[in-house]
Amino acid sequence: MASASSDVRSPDMLRTSGVDIVMTALAVMHGAVLLAAPSAPIIALGLWWNANTISHNFSHRPSFRRRSANYLFAAYLSALLGFPHRLWRDRHLAHHAGVHCRVYVTGELAIQMALVLLLWIVMAVREPFFFLSTYVPGYVGGLLLCGLHGYYEHARGATSYYGRLYNYLFFNDGYHVEHHANPGVHWACLPDLPVATAAASSWPAPLRWIEGSGLQALERLVLKSRLLQRFVLRSHARALRGLIAALPPLTRVAVVGGGMFPRTTLILQALLPSARVTIIDANRANLDRARAFVSTANTDFVHARYPDIGPEPYDLVIIPLSFEGNRGAIYTRPPAPFVLVHDWLWRKRGTSRTVSMLLFKRINLVRR
């Protein structure tokens, strides 16, 4: 599912690629699963998955050559997911165009709305307990998952995720920057259209909160516990010591995102006592907290968002796990002779040391 040539031949009934028949079959299977084993989790997960794969791709590129077949499939998706496909399509295409969605009640939309309403009425009358205790919670849960998915796809601007398994199961949904750059291109061709400036995440959209609020919550927890502070200092010092020992003498070091608990600066002051360390953080409160922990004699504090401060002659730049910029660009175009990048355990680049299996974290050393 993850990739296919753009010139795959199409069966006569299909408008685009023959691989799209897989989506049609999976949509039928989705309905069969709901009928065979209806439960709130299956309803929620099915709605979320289908809306971001089958329904999403069908909105951009209708699957069938005949208009009547596309109308029927759109009506089926409306009943299956519980919302009119035409409304979802118009709203989504307006999102790509960057304009406000205006709703026009067409015959197609009216039929789909009536079909969804009729289905809900039949369920509520014939199986009221199932409707209220299973369908409604599952439906609401699916919409919430879709909302979470859409929010984190764009929370820091359009962001891609290149994990193979996810893109196999979600028909290259992770290639989100590439999709925005080429919204009319078939999903199978997106891997062949890389965007050099694409922002990328180590997590798929539904789990991307781990990078932001999740990491912030862990930082606040460390800030409150001396035991956790000793643990993170010890584990990070072990990894940093091995990497820095292999470097030439360093005089100017930049630590991006000092953090609520400035573990990296504390370790550097012990490992590189003669180096001048600059903490660069867009959050002034974090800088104020850092001052309470570190020696200010050889430390500068810059309230800015990296790299907006402009080029500086640093020997070493250290990038945190919570970095909000283009991490891929840091790896391919290091901003200093030496760069240490905190990353997830499974993202090994350059010379690398594991920080902690418990924290799922490593530090990668890349050279310009």
In a domain, 5, yes or no: no
Residues 311, 168 within the same domain: no
pLDDT tens string 53-70: 999 999 998 888 889 999
Confirm whether 6 is domain-assigned.
no
Q: Are 78 and 112 in contact (CB under 8 A)?
A: yes
- Provide the pLDDT confidence category of residue 201 given band limits of 50, 70 and 90: confident
Model pLDDT, residue 27: 95
Residue 13 lies in a domain: no
The CA distance from 56 to 349, in Å, is 34
Number of domains, the chain: 2
The tens digit of pLDDT for each residue in 281-316 reads 888 888 888 888 888 888 888 888 887 766 668 999
- Domain containing 333 — which CATH number? 3.40.50.150
In 155-225, which residue ranges form alpha helices assigned H by DSSP? 164-169, 176-181, 213-223
pLDDT class for 73, splitting at 50, 70, 90? very high
**207-243: buried (b, 16+ CB within 10 Å) or exposed (e) per residue?**
bbbbbeeeeeebbeebeeeeeebeebbebbbebbeeb
Among the candidates 171, 201, 231, a domain finishes at 201
The interaxial angle of helices 67-81 and 85-97, nearest 10 deg, is: 100
User: 82 and 205 in contact (C-beta within 8 Å)?
Assistant: no
Q: Are residues 106 and 228 in the same domain?
A: no
Q: 342 lies in which domain range?
A: 215-367
- pLDDT value of residue 8: 43
Q: Is the domain of 290 the same as that of 328?
A: yes
User: 50 or 307: whose pLDDT is higher?
Assistant: 50
Report the predicted TM-score, pTM, of the whole model to 2 decimal places: 0.69
pLDDT at 74 over 70: yes
Percent of the chain surpassing pLDDT 70: 92
Residue 3 inside a domain? The answer is: no
Residues 108 and 245 in one domain: no
Q: Are 46 and 30 spatial neighbours (Cβ–Cβ below 8 Å)?
A: yes
Q: Are residues 193 and 222 in the same domain?
A: no
Kindly state whether residues 192 and 226 are assigned to the same domain: no
Q: Please report which confidence band the pLDDT of residue 6 belongs to, taking 50, 70 and 90 as the band edges.
A: very low
pLDDT at 306: 83
- pLDDT category at 214 given cuts 50, 70, 90 is low
Nearest to 45 by CA among 152, 169, 168, 128: 169
Residue-wise pLDDT for 25-42, tens only, equals: 999 999 999 999 999 999
- Answer yes or no: is 150 within a domain: yes
So what's the pLDDT on residue 65?
Answer: 84
**Are residue 327 and residue 223 in the same domain, yes or no?**
yes
Give a yes or no: residue 329 inside a domain. yes
364's CB contacts (< 8 A; 6+ apart) are 331, 340, 341, 343, 347, 348, 349, 350, 351, 352
The predicted structure's pLDDT at residue 45: 96
| 95 and 225 co-located in one domain | no
Decide: 8 and 18 in contact? Cβ < 8 Å: yes
- Domain co-membership, 285 together with 316: yes
User: Given the DSSP bridges, would you call strands 316-319 and 338-344 parallel, antiparallel or unpaired?
Assistant: parallel
Confidence (pLDDT) at 10:
47
- pLDDT, tens only, 155-187: 878 999 998 999 999 999 999 999 999 998 999
188/239 same-domain check: no
Q: Which pLDDT belongs to residue 14?
A: 53
* Residue ending a domain, choose from 151, 174, 201: 201
Residue 11 lies in a domain: no
Q: Are residues 228 and 176 in the same domain?
A: no
Last residue of a domain, one of 170, 201, 232: 201
Residues 177 and 247 placed together within one structural domain of the fold: no
Cis omega before residue 307 (within 30°)? yes
Question: pLDDT by residue (tens digit) across 258-284?
Answer: 767 888 999 998 999 899 999 988 888
Residue 242 lies in a domain: yes
